[in-house]
Amino acid sequence: MADESNIQSFEEAQQSYGDVFDPEKYMQSYYGEMLKTENCLFKPWTDVLDEPHYDAVHASRFKMRNMKFCIENVLTAMKGPLKVLDIGTGPFCGNLMYMSSFDNVTSIVCSDFLESCRNYIHKILSSKPSDKTNGQFDWSKFNERFYGDANSTLIDSFRNKCKAVKHVDISNLESGLKEVSDLGPYDVITSEWTFSDGTRDRVEYEALLGKCNTMLNIGGSLILSDVLEENFAVTSFEEDGKRMRCVNVSEEWIRGAIERQGFAIEQTILFFNREQDSGYFDGLGELIVWATKLK
């Protein structure tokens, strides 16, 4: 369990986020494990639902498998050309790389609050395979293990289709999404593990869903992945690292908020099976929702 005295307030965490969040450490902590396990992700997507523990490795495996499944459903149901926005990309663009391999996806905009994360994505966009250094997250290996992409075609398609990496602040709906809304409207908005970290409460979380609705074309898709019933998450990855408060959301509440904000829910994938605490966060499960804009 987290030491309560080590949990920062929202304002404190947002102010110090840039100093403590290390994009490379984040990638190694959540996604690096997948590079160590032989073909761990080629199992059918439902297998993870039977796994008893819920920690950083299971959380990212669950997300990867089920986002892949969800992305396939969304992108085969939609006609192109499709413009995609990802909110809170952080240093992670695995699912966006996969989306870029679909012919109907023509442009992708990434966004994050932190300059270090935006720079990390810029580095992927501008690097060549020969630029790789030891200790850096190995995207070619990740994509080969997970998607069977032996020739790094996913990195290339992402480089071709990612048109911008923008600043976004989801805790400030007045002006924090201006840079990304100026590039809209979009056909697909994705966001993974970000809304409950970057908003103060359920009221702000729901208003953000409403903002996503206004940035989508009618019929457009929202793909939202978030952690359920989470009270804290780490901002750094040290043993005694700082933890920030998160918005505690339940499956029922998220579904209601999405519908109240003008969406029809097309699909939900739920994982609610925790039997042990994780040092990284205390969420009880995860939810992936695909919803389409009604009006």
Q: Which residues bind ligand SAM (CB under 6 A)?
A: 14, 88-90, 92, 112-114, 117, 168-171, 192-194, 197-198
**By beta-carbon distance, which residue lies closest to ligand SAM?**
90
Shorter beta-carbon distance to ligand SAM: residue 146 or 193: 193
Shorter beta-carbon distance to ligand SAM: residue 103 or 277: 277
Shorter beta-carbon distance to ligand SAM: residue 75 or 247: 247
Shorter beta-carbon distance to ligand SAM: residue 114 or 270: 114
**Least CB distance from residue 241 to ligand SAM, whole Å?**
13
The closest alpha carbon to 88, from 260, 226, 290, 201, belongs to 226
Task: Tell me the C-alpha to C-alpha distance, in Å, between residue 204 and each of 96, 106, 172, 200, 260.
Answer: 26, 31, 9, 6, 14
Pairing mode, if any, of strands 105-112 and 82-86? parallel
**Least CB distance from residue 130 to ligand SAM, whole Å?**
26
Strand partners, 293: 263
Pairing mode, if any, of strands 285-293 and 263-271? antiparallel
**Least CB distance from residue 218 to ligand SAM, whole Å?**
26
- Are 224 and 193 in contact by the 8 Å Cβ rule? The answer is no
Shorter beta-carbon distance to ligand SAM: residue 90 or 220: 90
φ, ψ for residue 52, nearest 5 deg: -75, -30
Question: Which token pair is 33?
Answer: 């494990």
**Least CB distance from residue 92 to ligand SAM, whole Å?**
4
**Least CB distance from residue 294 to ligand SAM, whole Å?**
26
